[in-house]
């Protein structure tokens, strides 16, 4: 029997569940509304230039390419760094390490996940960037690589926690069957368990990449923020997030610069959106087997 | 199915109402008609260069007037002017002049920004103390930042690439430097934009071949690894050490006024505070904070 209390509770629950849909929808509407006028004046193709010069007495140029390439470079490097640490860490904790090691390692990984990104950024500025500078003989330690290392540091706990869950949830019978057939422990791990847990591990890496591409404060502090197009990890780059964070405060409301920053936001959103989509595709493909 | 859609609709409706409701909470705290003894609120917002100075003024003022409650926040000159235009601050602190565009925006909103010069600031050009270059002309500094000079050997130094450090484009100092030192040319794309003055000092102290610009107060206290360049106004004039004296007498070339902007002529506590800042006691604080008094 449907009483009014049932209905009220159901309404509340549906409401809570659909809030995030509403918010995503509103964000898209708002971003689009602020960014849209740029398409006519000065024109959509103005966004595809290789220079980003938002404040100028000569001519303002709002090319997004250096910002997009900066974000991609930092994210790519960070992903390369976080995969081995995250996945091998998870394998060790889930399969090889003893119970004592587990209870010792886990809390530390969780603490690493809890460190605010400003603190990590400060650590990068004061400790890591001089090391990078002397190690590679550079003029300055504020490079894409420095930012990528910090971001990998921040994403590794996510990757470890999620992949470890995936590895743990591989049925015990798989392990036992493999060992019973005469495979040794290493073969069991890399031929049976890791492939079985692969969808979870890929999801973990995608989650880590999501964290990396959206991270702002640490990259703002250590990548040097020079807006140039480069694929050299030892160059300074300007990421999309750092650009929004650094410039949104100053920008005159409704100006071309303001609209261009919203376009940066839209492309950032599309990139994370694409990442999620790919992650879901991969997960579904493996689950169907 | 139909019932489900209705419930969803109601839920979305509630959420929208909540969002709209949140917007209306901007109550105006600071009315001028306050009785004595009640707290008087004053908000100050803007230039990061002036935050320390404004805090020092606010502290001294609140000590003498316990009923006053002044909050000071930074964010950049542009942020402060935007806040003034949106009516969220009483006083905007700005290390650059208000732009024509911003005045127009203000007039559209029925506001009339009122400029008050409170003090002056010199911009020191800093290098690492291991760099042998001692003095440069303003033109040479400008050409480094536009990317015309890329190696210290072109300026009588050693054969190393120049690492250019600048503030972020939201900084008043960035715009001032571009206008007065770089002669309105664009920054080199190689220029690294640092989020704060302390980040510039930090980088210059670590990177031997870098060059940066900071407020005089920061430059003077930067420590042993950082040295302020002596600046020549042109090739034939003498090299001037940046200091309070040389900024005040106008001989140091890279200096600017520090402003207050209020909406209209100040009244009430805003006026009292402005009067305090311009008084001898207020100007004494300017000197203590490492800036340059107007008289």
Beta carbons of A251 and B168 less than 8 Å apart: no
Res B35: pLDDT? 43
Q: Do B206 and A58 touch (CB under 8 A)?
A: no
B63-78 pLDDT tens trace: 999 989 999 998 778 8
Q: What percent of chain B stands above pLDDT 90?
A: 49
If one looks up domain A65-288 in CATH, what number appears? 1.10.3720.10
Chain B interface test: which of A55, A127, A251 (most B C-beta within 10 Å): A55
> Residue B48 has which token pair?
């990061």
Within 8 A of B78 by CB-CB distance, chain A residues are 249-252
Contact (CB<8Å) B178/A126: no
pLDDT of residue B24: 42
pLDDT surpassing 80 at residue B5: no
**Which residues of chain B make contact with A130, given a CB cutoff of 8 A?**
206
Name the minimum distance, in Å, from the CA of B190 to any CA of chain A: 6
Mutation target among B186, B200, B204 for the A interface, most CBs of A within 10 A: B186
In A, which residues are within 8 Å of B209 by CB distance? 139
How many contacts does A have with B, using Cβ atoms within 8 A? 119
Residue A51 vs residues A165, A222, A246, B40, B150: alpha-carbon distances, Å: 44, 21, 17, 48, 19
CA distance A97 to A185: 13
Residue B128 pairs in a beta bridge with B226
pLDDT at B28: 40
pLDDT, mean over chain B = 85
pLDDT over 50 (residue B185) = yes
Under an 8 A CB cutoff, do B206 and A253 touch?
Answer: no
Q: For chain A, which residues make up each domain, given as ranges?
A: 4-36, 65-288
pLDDT value of residue B229: 94
Range scoring the smallest mean pLDDT among A110-114, B169-173, B284-288: B169-173
Chain B CB contacts of A10 under 8 Å are 7
Dist CA B98 CA B102 (whole Å): 6
Residues of B in contact with A228 (CB under 8 A): 189-190
Nearest to B8 among A18, A129, A238 (CB): A18
Indicate the pTM of the whole model. 0.78
Q: Residue B31's pLDDT is what? A: 41
Q: How confident is the model at residue B289 (pLDDT cuts 50, 70, 90)?
A: confident
Q: Which segment of A4-18, A159-173, B10-24, B120-134 scores lowest on mean pLDDT?
A: B10-24
Query: Is there a contact between A249 and B210 if contact means CB atoms under 8 Å apart?
Result: no
Q: Which of A11, A133, A141 sits opposite B11 (nearest CB)?
A: A11
Name the residue among B12, B161, B195 with its Cβ closest to that of A220.
B195
Quick one: pLDDT at residue B27?
A: 40
| Residues in chain B closer than 8 A to A257 (CB atoms) | none
The DSSP result for A108-165, as a single string, is HHHHHHHS-HHHHHHHIIIIIHHHHHHHHT-S-S-SHHHHHHHHHHHHHHHHHHHHHH
Nearest Cα neighbor of B75 from B50, B96, B43 is B50
Facing B199 at nearest CB: one of A54, A141, A221? A221
Q: Is the Cβ–Cβ distance between A140 and B210 less than 8 Å?
A: yes
Nearest by CB to B191, from A226, A252, A253: name it: A226
Q: What is the pLDDT of residue B48?
A: 81
Name the residue in chain B with its Cα closest to that of A222: B194
Q: Which residues of B touch A58 (CB under 8 A)?
A: 184-186
Mean pLDDT of B110-121: 91
Predicted-complex ipTM score: 0.81
pLDDT of residue B59: 93
Q: Which of A216-225, B21-30, B40-49, B65-74 has the least mean pLDDT?
A: B21-30
Question: CB-CB: which of B101, B160, B187 is closest to A252?
Answer: B101
Q: Which domains does chain B have, with CATH numbers?
A: 40-120+257-288 (3.40.190.10), 121-255 (3.40.190.10)
Query: What is the structure's pLDDT at B162?
Result: 94
Q: What is the pLDDT of residue A251?
A: 77
A139/B207 touch (CB, cutoff 8 Å), yes or no: yes
Per-residue pLDDT of chain A (289 residues; tens, 9 = 90+): 568 888 999 999 999 989 989 998 899 899 999 998 898 888 888 889 889 998 888 888 999 999 999 999 999 999 999 999 999 999 999 988 888 998 999 889 989 888 999 999 999 988 999 999 999 989 888 999 999 999 999 999 999 998 998 898 899 999 999 999 999 988 999 999 999 998 889 888 988 998 899 899 999 999 999 998 989 999 999 999 999 998 887 677 778 899 999 999 999 999 988 888 887 887 777 665 4
**Phi then psi for B46, rounded to 5 degrees?**
145, -135
Please indicate whether, in this complex, the C-beta atoms of A55 and B82 are within 8 angstroms of each other: no
Extract the tokens encoding A259.
């609209």
Q: Judge whether A258 and B170 are in contact, CB under 8 Å.
A: no
Contact yes or no for A140 and B10 at CB 8 A: no
Residue of chain B nearest A249, judged by CA positions? B79
């Amino acid at each position: 029997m449907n009483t009014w209390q049932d209905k009220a509770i159901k309404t509340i629950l549906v409401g809570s569940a659909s809030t995030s849909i509403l918010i995503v929808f509103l964000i898209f509407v708002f971003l689009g509304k602020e960014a849209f006028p740029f398409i006519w004046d000065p024109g959509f193709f103005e966004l595809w230039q290789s220079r980003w010069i938002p404040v100028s007495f000569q001519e303002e140029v709002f090319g997004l390419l250096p910002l997009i390439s900066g974000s991609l470079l930092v994210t790519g490097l960070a992903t390369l760094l976080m995969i081995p640490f995250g996945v091998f860490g998870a394998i060790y904790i889930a399969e090889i390490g003893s119970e004592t090691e587990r209870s010792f390692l886990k809390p530390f990984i969780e603490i690493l996940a809890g460190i605010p990104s400003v603190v990590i950024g400060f650590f990068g500025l004061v400790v890591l960037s001089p090391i990078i500078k002397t190690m590679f003989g550079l003029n300055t330690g504020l490079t894409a690589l420095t930012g990528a290392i910090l971001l990998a540091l921040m994403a590794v706990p996510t990757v470890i926690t999620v992949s470890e869950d995936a590895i743990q949830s591989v049925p015990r019978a798989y392990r036992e069957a493999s060992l019973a057939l005469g495979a040794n422990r290493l073969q069991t791990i890399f031929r049976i368990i890791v492939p079985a847990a692969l969808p979870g591990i890929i999801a973990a890496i995608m989650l880590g990449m999501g964290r990396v591409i959206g991270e702002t404060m640490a990259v703002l502090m250590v990548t040097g923020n020079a807006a140039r197009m480069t694929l050299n990890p030892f160059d300074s780059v300007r990421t999309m997030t750092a650009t929004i964070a650094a410039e949104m405060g100053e920008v005159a409301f409704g100006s071309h610069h303001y609209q261009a920053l919203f376009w940066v936001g839209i492309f950032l959103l599309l990139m994370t959106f694409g990442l999620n989509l790919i992650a879901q595709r991969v997960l579904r493909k493996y689950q169907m087997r | 199915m139909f019932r489900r859609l209705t419930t969803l609709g109601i839920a979305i409706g509630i959420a929208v109402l909540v969002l709209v409701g949140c917007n209306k909470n901007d109550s105006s705290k600071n009315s001028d008609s306050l009785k004595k003894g009640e707290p008087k609120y004053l908000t100050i917002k803007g230039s990061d260069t002036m935050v320390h100075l404004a805090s020092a003024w606010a502290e001294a003022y609140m000590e003498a007037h316990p009923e006053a409650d002044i909050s000071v926040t930074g964010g950049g000159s542009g942020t402060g002017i935007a806040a003034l235009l949106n009516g969220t601050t009483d006083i905007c602190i700005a290390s650059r002049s208000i732009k024509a565009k911003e005045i127009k925006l203000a007039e559209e909103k029925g506001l009339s920004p009122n400029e008050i010069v409170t003090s002056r600031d010199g911009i020191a050009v800093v290098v690492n103390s291991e760099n042998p270059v001692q003095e440069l002309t303003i033109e040479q500094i400008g050409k480094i930042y536009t990317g015309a000079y890329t190696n210290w050997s072109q300026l009588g130094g050693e054969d190393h690439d120049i690492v250019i450090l600048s503030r972020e484009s939201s900084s008043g100092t960035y715009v001032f430097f571009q206008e007065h030192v770089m002669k309105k040319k664009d920054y080199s794309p190689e220029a690294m934009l640092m989020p704060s003055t302390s980040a510039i000092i930090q980088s210059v102290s670590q990177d031997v071949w870098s060059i940066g610009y900071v407020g005089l107060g920061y430059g003077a206290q930067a420590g042993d690894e950082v040295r302020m360049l002596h600046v020549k106004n042109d090739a034939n004039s003498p090299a001037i050490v940046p200091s309070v004296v040389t900024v005040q007498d106008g001989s140091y070339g890279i200096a600017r006024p520090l402003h207050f902007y209020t909406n209209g002529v100040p009244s009430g506590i805003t006026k009292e505070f402005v009067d305090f800042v311009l008084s001898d006691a207020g100007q004494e604080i300017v000197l203590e904070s490492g800036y340059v008094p107007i008289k």
